[in-house]
Amino acid sequence: MKNLIILILLSLVILPLMAQYDIPRPDFNPFSLHSPALTKLSMSHSMGFEAGSSSGGDGYYLSRYTNHLNYAFSPKLELDLDLNFVNFGSMNSSHSFSLNEDNDSKVLPEFSLRYRPSDTMTFEIKMSQGMLRPTRPWYEN
């Protein structure tokens, strides 16, 4: 019992003394703020909302949150990734305002990979889920 009390007292004295010294420690976490992988990553966000109605009282609403990620593998190779979180549906305002039962949410990813071997030449692979069919809005695909 006496040894345990001495060990606890020594720990209480030694630990604060050790905390005062900046001992270099390796950082093996790839997601830490000082990681070289994260210095090449940039992120931004955007948000939008739109709604509309006709003179007959039919309408729609659409909200969108987009997370934009850009990762530069090298000065010549770059990846862009957009994650679009979309919520949409229809409404009726002819007699009283009411939302219809067609509320839906989707995640629509988009990406592009760009390679610039020189200032005058660019190769790009792109996947987009925008206005592919003009008869239907992009959020109903």
Per DSSP (E only), the strands in 2-103 are: 41-53, 58-72, 77-92, 98-99
**Half-sphere exposure of 116 toward its Cβ, with a 13 Å CA cutoff?**
11
Q: What is the pLDDT of residues 32-66, one digit of tens each?
A: 666 677 778 889 999 998 888 777 777 888 888 99
CA distances from 45 to 66, 136, 139 (A): 6, 26, 19
Q: How confident is the model at residue 132 (pLDDT cuts 50, 70, 90)?
A: very low
Q: How confident is the model at residue 134 (pLDDT cuts 50, 70, 90)?
A: very low
H/E element, 37: helix 36-39
**pTM of this prediction?**
0.57
Average pLDDT for 62-76 = 90
Name which of 110, 136, 118 is nearest 46 in CA terms. 110
Q: What pLDDT score was predicted for residue 90? A: 79
**How far does CA 79 lie from the centroid of its chain?**
14
